[in-house]
Amino acid sequence: MVVLLIAAVYAAWTWLRPYEWQSDAAARFRITGALLTRDHANHWLELRLKKAGAAEHDLLKPVRLVLEGGREAAPAETTLVGDEATGTTEIWFKFWLEPGDLNGPLRLRLNDGVLRVKTNAGEPRFGVTGRKVFNTSHW
């Protein structure tokens, strides 16, 4: 019974914890998940963001993924989710990453803030599917 209780608490903790404990309010959104897909030697990184306040996303400000060493990548694809009444409630960004881009931490510059995408060094390991979902920035 104790083992089952510990497993249930661990499962709830991993399911309910935020992607990033303290996201930058100036970004106006928070990351809720990341999907990394291997494409030969390169990778596709998809980020899902949810609105984290009343302020709207500023479409005139550039969005950039900041890689280790300061190099920046622009999104290859952007999907905005919402309607006229609620405005943009979710944003999906898709980035094309080359070999070596995942070796260090990654940050997302959005609006006037910066969000942590990946905090650990080193490229993540993949299973046979070549896809990996991350629910926290520690990967």
Domain with 73 in it: what CATH number?
2.60.40.10
Is 25 within 8 Å of 52 (Cβ atoms)?
Answer: yes
Residue 10 covered by a domain: no
| H/E element, 94 | strand 87-97
**What mean pLDDT value characterizes the chain?**
91
Using one digit for the tens of pLDDT, what is the confidence trace for 47-102?
A: 999 999 889 999 999 999 999 889 999 999 999 999 988 899 999 999 999 999 99
Residue 5 covered by a domain: no
Q: Which residue has the tokens 């046979």?
A: 128
Is 23 within 8 Å of 112 (Cβ atoms)?
Answer: no
Domain that holds residue 72: 20-134
Residue 3 covered by a domain: no
Number of structural domains in the chain: 1
Residue 71 covered by a domain: yes
Q: What angle do CA 50, 73, 56 make, to 5 degrees?
A: 30
Give mean pLDDT, residues 99-119: 95
Residue 119 covered by a domain: yes
Residue 139 covered by a domain: no
Residue 4 covered by a domain: no
Region label for 37, one of left (φ > 0), alpha (ψ between -120 and 50) or beta (otherwise): beta
First to last CA, the chain: 32
Residue 116 covered by a domain: yes
pTM of the predicted protein model: 0.85
Is 126 within 8 Å of 38 (Cβ atoms)?
Answer: yes
